[in-house]
Amino acid sequence: MKTSNRNGLTESQAKVLKIINDFIAENGYSPTAKEIAEILHITQTSVFEQLERLEKKRYITRQKGAARTIGILNSVVEEKPVKSESVKLVKVPVIGTIAAGVPIFADENMEGEILVDESNIGKGRFFALRVRGDSMINAGINNGDLVIIKRQPLAENGDIIAALIDSEATLKRLSMTNDEVFLLPENEKYSPINVTCREDFRILGKMVTTVTVM
């Protein structure tokens, strides 16, 4: 399994950072989010999400509201080794298929546990959910991946969340517009799910990172 490289970046974040680095080296200026999206064949929404995370981790700088203002603070080309004692691993339960009528965190639903570097997920209560299907591929989330979810009953507009609908867990992007709430896929083959008035809908938590199963 692989959650991140030694720089603390996920595979998707490292790809975006490399694209920015290579683009600047070749052209002398930074790419736009649209250009990054076209190169990686993902949505601009996903690019903005990765840029925000790279900025929080202080790998890039950006000037809000202006194009071609991405600056590189730290490149992934040269990796510095991390001392083993600086890494704190936490156990995260892996949840499998959700049985109808059974609470999601019941022991029957646990497939096992994985160890995750705490620096990649922060503090809180977490669980891992196995991705089935290709509805989130444009966000860099593929079939078979594990996603780490921070348990929380609320989320912000645009967050990728794990939600429960009719006792089935699903991973989608939360969209709240006017008085309506939708769960959006990151694949044009699938349609949004309107959960505005559904009594069987609840938020299980917010995705914080992915785990690629090798």
Number of Cβ within 10 Å of residue 49's Cβ equals 21
Active-site annotation, residues: 135, 172
Count of residues for the chain? 214
Could you write out the DSSP letters of every residue in 93-147? EEE-PPPTTS-TTSGGGEEEEEEEEHHHH-SS-EEEEE--SSTTGGGT--TT-EE
- Give the 3-state secondary structure percentages of the chain, helix then strand then coil, rounded to 5: 25, 30, 45
